[in-house]
Amino acid sequence: MKILVTGGAGYIGSHTVVELYNSGHEAVIIDNFSNSTEIALQGLKKILKKDIPFYEKDCLDIESIREVFEQHKIDGVIHYAALKAVGESKERPLDYYENNILGLINILRLMDEYNVNNLIFSSSACVYGVPEELPVTEETSRADTESPYGNTKKISEDIISDVAKVSNLKAVMLRYFNPIGAHPSGLIGELPMGKPNNLVPYITQSAAGIRGPLTIFGNNFDTPDGYQVRDFIHIMDLAGAHVKALDYLEKQETGFSNIFNLGTGKGVSVMELINAFQKVSDGSLEYTIGEPRMGDIDKIWADATKAEKILGWKAELTLEDALRDAWNWQLELQKQQVDK
């Protein structure tokens, strides 16, 4: 199958492209580089030993995206392209609603116009808000989210479900927990634009001397050690789930949608993660304890049983694997800078 990957130069998108090719599929990438760089495309070429069709385009420009559908016989879409910083979304809500909702609508319109039925949508565990029971399953009620970003994911899920009821669309919505790590080659990984919003790239950049000490936001949460607990999943496990979801979609009738959690099923505290990183990197990490951030929840982790039973997928790689690969990616980036 030839799959259009929107946001394919981004963190999750680029790793999924690798898994698509490893599974015998092809990819066409569109990305506007709002939160990505050409480094990912260069890494993909080295890993796959081929050029991947790429178009620098914005999903808000439907006529521009239409050109890609005209030039390629697209069999399915994996839609990643979205603004994704929780804090920023509180400061720029209109930008987030416009970009994330209208971008999805444009993709759905073009899929309908060109009779492309298969859609995999990048959703998020943030749709659960502050869960009353753990672990969360797909049956856990969605709650008021803590940010406009999270709300765009809820709205997007509803749009996709409604469209599938009245069209030929076949859709899988994947609710990600906390992807970390990098491709084991060290050639692609998470590369934030500016100051990282996510924990692991901040850790690796701090350990590499690029940033000062890590600030841990709070140590008095309702958890065993007082630190926030999250479900950290290796990016390669997450990427592989998309291929499984694609195979699953192929077997479904049109007018269909389903939702799956993607996580390890295990909660890990921030301090446990830091200790694991220090172990795999053979170094110490400087950190300070700061005030909790408004809206941060104490703990959340997934029940991913549904994905295992229906998609035949489960997370296989360990926390240590993910942190070792993330650190290797950071070292590779620094090596590239020195070589320049």
Which residues of the chain are under the pLDDT cut of 70? 337-340
pTM: 0.96
Concerning whether 287 is annotated as a catalytic residue, the answer is no
For 12, what's the count of Cα atoms within 13 Å in the CB-facing half-sphere? 30
34 within some domain? yes
| Residue-level pLDDT at 192 | 85
226 within some domain? no
16 within some domain? yes
| Residue-level pLDDT at 90 | 92
150 within some domain? yes
203 within some domain? no
- Per residue in 285-326, pLDDT (tens digit) is 999 999 998 778 999 999 999 999 999 999 999 999 999 999
224 within some domain? no
Identify the active-site residue in 149, 176, 227, 248: 149
| Residue-level pLDDT at 296 | 82
Instruction: Tell me the C-alpha distance between 199 and 76, whole Å.
Output: 32
171 within some domain? yes
93 within some domain? yes
Containing domain of residue 255, as a range?
2-181+232-263
| Residue-level pLDDT at 337 | 67
Q: What CATH number should be reported for the domain holding residue 154?
A: 3.40.50.720
| Residue-level pLDDT at 338 | 56
- Number of separate domains in the chain: 1
| Residue-level pLDDT at 294 | 77
Instruction: Tell me the C-alpha distance between 300 and 249, whole Å.
Output: 28
